[in-house]
Amino acid sequence: MDNIAIIGGGAAGLAAAVRLRRAGRPVTLFERGDRLGRKLSATGNGQGNVTNLRMGAEYYHTDGRGKLACILARFGPHETIAFLESMGGIFLPDARGRVYPAGRQASAVTDLFRRELDRLDADIRLSSRVTSLKREKNGFALTTAAGTERFSAVLLAAGGCAAPNFGTDGSAFSLVRPLGHTVLPLSPVLVQFKCDAGEVRGLKGIRTDAGLTILRAGKEVYRVRGDVLFTESGLSGDAVFRASSYAEAGDTAVLDLLPDVEQARIEAALRRGEGADCLLCLVNNGLGRFLYKKCEGDRRRIAALLKGFPVPLKGTLGFAYAQATRGGVPLSEVTDELESRLVPGLFFAGEMLNVDGDCGGYNLQWAFASAYIASEALSCR
């Protein structure tokens, strides 16, 4: 009964399965869906942003920053690139450190894993939802619709609650609660802001580089700069995804729509044009017309709004639109090898643990790094 069960066929589960099979260990991977790597195939807007060269624990939220830093030191972005390229392909960074396959196709990354696991003759069980996980004297009893099987060790890598359309609905947390583990409150992150439609009506589809500040009761909570996309129901884009980790319903997102230009220079430029044309070449024409109308043509008010456009927040669009989950099993309840302190032989990887990263490849880096740490320990058992 030396077989190891991996629950979850996402990035972490796939990476762990490859490493364990390469080490000669028998592995059975259970995936509740009918395909492996569905969420991985959509990462980076379908282009496959697998990691980021600008790496460190400061890009993450967790209850165990020191432990996380040690894990990232052991398996960082260069190790991720080497691991992926050991299966095939070429992975290259962009100017912001984000690493993609040269072909910019996320589904091809999933295909690399499928090909490698096929070569390694891994036991893959698709459409196999694990409904029960029990600790026994010499291992674990794992139950699916097909029956109960026994394993010497188990790696839980079933993901969080984000993007349930890809099969990650958080149901796997029900497997660990009966074993005594804490599950910290789960909330969506890297997700769009929701606001009163009237605040942004007419701006849908406009994208701009902007400074974004989150205010709560008038006090600054978080500040970031990046892409902001106006949507039908609120705000999206890189900067919004990063800020969503800090924002709450009732906060205000304040946009600096010309972050590189001082207000006095904006006012001078506005005086040189007539009507809404005063905003030509300052911002997108649609945004310019919106601001001109909102401020009734008052140049000083327009300039002030360009430097501080407030958008009251009603919350986020929730797990259905989120890229990651905050919360889960705390790092304090696992060892440095990501083995449960409460249930020997039970390991964790990926989003089931209380680690979530910024937008830009950080969550996949955590998936690969945690899979490496756990699978290395499992291969030595």
CATH 2.40.30.10 domain position(s) in the chain: 194-316
pLDDT tens digit at each of 381 positions of the chain: 489 999 999 999 999 999 999 999 999 999 999 999 999 999 988 999 999 999 999 999 999 999 999 999 999 999 999 999 999 999 999 999 999 999 999 999 999 999 999 999 999 999 999 999 999 999 999 999 999 999 999 999 999 999 998 988 899 999 999 999 999 999 999 999 999 888 888 899 999 999 999 999 999 999 999 999 999 989 999 999 999 988 999 999 999 999 999 999 999 999 888 878 888 889 999 999 999 999 999 999 999 999 999 999 999 999 999 999 999 999 999 999 999 999 999 999 999 999 999 999 999 999 999 999 999 999 988
DSSP letter assigned to residue 269: H
> How many of the other CB atoms lie within 10 Å of CB of 377?
17
308: phi > 0 → left, psi -120 to 50 → alpha, else beta; which? beta
CATH 3.50.50.60 domain position(s) in the chain: 4-188+324-379
Rounded CA separation 36/16 (Å)? 13
Beta-bridge partner residues of 154: 5, 346
Q: Give the C-alpha distances (Å, rounded to integers) separating 199 from 232, 242, 310, 325.
A: 10, 21, 9, 28
Rounded CA separation 348/342 (Å)? 12
Would you state the CATH architecture of domain 194-316? Beta Barrel (2.40)
- Whether the CB-CB separation of 297 and 253 falls below 8 Å is answered with no
Nearest CA to 362 out of 228, 226, 245 is that of 245
Rounded CA separation 49/39 (Å)? 12
| Local structure of 69: helix, strand or coil | helix
Which two tokens mark 361?
């490849």
Q: Position of tokens 């696991």?
A: 117
Q: What's 4-188+324-379's CATH class?
A: alpha beta
